[in-house]
Structure 1
């Protein structure tokens, strides 16, 4: 840490000399006053930036602060400050400043590292679309060919199905990267019929899951201004989630009803309930539960479906919620404003 320690220690000394009330120090110790020492914060962020550029791990960067703290405290002990109260007080002030610098370094380092990873995911997902499209088109051509035997046609069909699953994963990764890079999901609302869209989406999902019962209950024509492709994606994600986690012998039910200025779109399934402890985090990205309701160690997917559902709902000015128990089953409800 020799390249940045001198400037950092000078600014720590300035911070120790600055008058701070007990309330200000208490706020600082909780991390509630990040702007109380801008020079110190700037040093910490610059240090993190340099270490990230040099491919340091987070543990390696933190170990520098540990070494710096230990070195100063040993020298402080050897200095033999006459007044014990003063020695203790200034040791506390020093550690408060070091903790603030360490916290700011970690925050900057992890944020930039995560941003780089998400950017990489987005780039990879974008570049995968072209070869994946070629695979899907070639497999579809083979399926339609009359020259293949039954076994070969079935193999080509499995390629088409797998390519479709991969295409959905790629699409979710692109949406995830867009949101995490500070943007929002792009939507193009236009007047449309939700009942017609649900009918089309459910028909397609029934063909994709012929072994499962997917029921649709929409009694009225529900018109509104929404992004057709995004709402279809939202329905698909919710039904896929219900099929994946619901009881195989019970139907998945899709319903929609107009309620004042909003429409309530619901997807219901029976099966293991979502534990209350997980219901608040189920919409977080890269979160997936196994069929027994616990976090899955080896998920069948990338855990972005419900996150994308939430982002689509919020992009339309709506919201999504979940209710889950063993007797009533699990229901995800999306509330979308009609206008």
Structure 2
């Protein structure tokens, strides 16, 4: 598809000069319209006109005035004007023409090639100006859409520049905090902190995002007209090709209601677990006294043992509930460290599980030493959870392997079994609360746990500044790995 040739209005009262100029431009491929006076030029010029070649000395009105009128009229203000004069040829004439709005000034007679080259140059300028205007309109449109999207967003949004100065904040922010909102455009981080000290943890996240250029996430508590509110915060920096932060967008979600419900649930679980301890202890002690007293027939003895077994299982569940509540409400499971050997903890745990699973093979290999400062009771609980799970979720004829290896700066524990692999979609959630593994077809009876064992295990490991991981596949089996820094 070919583009339409540019339309040029050639204005000159000298017929011969006008003819020569129009002839040169026509041969160069342009569309040319002639005018012999200033008024005729103003009448013929339109938004379709690309360029006006305008003589300065016209019989009715000055070419300078014609140029001014063209440039000040909305219909023709985008038209290019090239003065071409044989009389007004002094430096002052040229300067005056350009000051009145002309885009170029040539003195006649002019070489045809120079004239065509000058016209092409001006038309390229006009095309560039059109593209810039179109791009500016598109940028303005997109900016308007972005401003509308941010302003109408349901969650609070704030935009900061590279120095941390507030560029904009949407209405949802002011609604969520009421009179406590201090995020006015132009405010600095230090200025806002001076007005509202509760912003300290949030503003520190903003500083980290500005300094590192990395996304920051967190939960902050901020005062509002409705009291203390809790917000989940995501800070997303925008960086250039050199990694320099250009801006940071903050989005917040009010999670006060959900957090209150979660805290109530966890407090309730903690109180329930605590209050269940007393009747359970009474039940267990009564059953133990019956067993010690003796004189029970076979059925009575069997029922007494069943009571004791069930009481032990309930006691484990209650301890898990209390550990869970502590970890969620108290910032983690508390540990009391003391010098010790974690290898001894692993050996005791394996021996106890061998005794309680006489038909199973549990292999133990150790290398190096396990000396360090540990909470031995808590680590025994964690290792017991992992080895117990390995026995529960693997075939009875297979062996469970436990490895302990001491390095200079850490101790690594591995627990491996050849049971059915953990499905890939479940792997990221293995250490979550209230999750149980998928039982084998050979398992019978109701599940024996609450699905808190692995969650508590990771919390115990994290309380030792370590980490717990899992890998599972059909070919390699399942391996839980614990890293404990010394």
Task: Tell me the CA shift for residue 38 of structure 1.
Answer: 4.2
Aligned position for 1:144: 292
Separation of aligned partners in 2, 1:220 and 1:329: 25
Task: Tell me the CA shift for residue 244 of structure 1.
Answer: 2.1
Residue 247 (str. 1) matches residue 382 (str. 2): no
Aligned position for 2:419: 271
Report the CA distance shift for 1:175/1:249 in structure 2 as closer, same or farther (over 3 A).
same
Residue 173 (str. 1) matches residue 297 (str. 2): no
Deviations 1:280-313 (A, max 9, x none): 11111112221369xxxx8542111110111111
Deviations 1:86-117 (A, max 9, x none): xxxxxxxxxxxxxx99x63xx32222112111
Task: Tell me the CA shift for residue 219 of structure 1.
Answer: 4.6
Q: Is the 8 A contact 2:369 2:406 kept in 1?
A: no
Q: What is the TM-score normalised by the length of structure 2? A: 0.49
Q: Is the 8 A contact 2:364 2:403 kept in 1?
A: yes
Separation of aligned partners in 1, 2:151 and 2:483: 39
Aligned position for 2:270: 122
Aligned position for 2:471: 323
Q: What is the TM-score normalised by the length of structure 1? A: 0.69
Q: Is the 8 A contact 1:272 1:291 kept in 2?
A: no
Q: As a proportion of its length, which structure holds more strand?
A: 2
Paired residues in the alignment total: 262
Separation of aligned partners in 1, 2:316 and 2:259: 27
5+ residue gaps, structure 2, are 1-143, 159-168, 179-223, 229-250
Deviates more, 1:144-153 or 1:234-243: 144-153
Residue 202 (str. 1) matches residue 357 (str. 2): no
> RMSD of aligned C-alpha atoms?
3.1
Q: Is the 8 A contact 1:48 1:109 kept in 2?
A: no
Q: As a proportion of its length, which structure holds more helix?
A: 1
Separation of aligned partners in 1, 2:227 and 2:396: 50
Q: Is the 8 A contact 2:277 2:318 kept in 1?
A: yes
Aligned position for 2:94: none
Deviations 1:124-177 (A, max 9, x none): 001111222222222233333332233322322222222111111111111111
Task: Tell me the CA shift for residue 232 of structure 1.
Answer: 0.7
Q: Is the 8 A contact 2:435 2:451 kept in 1?
A: yes
Deviations 1:52-72 (A, max 9, x none): xxxxxxxxxxxxxxxxxxxxx
Residue 22 (str. 1) matches residue 155 (str. 2): no
Point out which structure has higher relative CO (alpha carbons under 8 A, 6+ apart): 1
Separation of aligned partners in 2, 1:28 and 1:168: 51
Aligned position for 2:312: 164
Task: Tell me the CA shift for residue 276 of structure 1.
Answer: 1.4
Task: Tell me the CA shift for residue 25 of structure 1.
Answer: 4.2
Q: Is the 8 A contact 1:254 1:265 kept in 2?
A: yes
5+ residue gaps, structure 1, are 1-19, 50-99
Alignment of 1:1-339 (within 5 A): 22=146, 25-26=149-150, 29=153, 31=155, 33=157, 36=170, 37-42=172-177, 104=254, 107-291=255-439, 299-338=447-486
Q: Is the 8 A contact 2:155 2:173 kept in 1?
A: no
Q: Is the 8 A contact 2:284 2:311 kept in 1?
A: yes
What SS is found at the alignment partner of 2:429?
coil
Report the CA distance shift for 1:139/1:211 in structure 2 as closer, same or farther (over 3 A).
farther
What SS is found at the alignment partner of 1:147?
coil
Report the CA distance shift for 1:230/1:42 in structure 2 as closer, same or farther (over 3 A).
same
Task: Tell me the CA shift for residue 47 of structure 1.
Answer: 8.1
Q: Is the 8 A contact 2:368 2:405 kept in 1?
A: yes
Larger Rg: 2
Task: Tell me the CA shift for residue 316 of structure 1.
Answer: 0.4
Report the CA distance shift for 1:29/1:204 in structure 2 as closer, same or farther (over 3 A).
same
Report the CA distance shift for 1:208/1:46 in structure 2 as closer, same or farther (over 3 A).
farther
What SS is found at the alignment partner of 2:395?
coil
Separation of aligned partners in 2, 1:234 and 1:173: 15
Report the CA distance shift for 1:213/1:46 in structure 2 as closer, same or farther (over 3 A).
farther
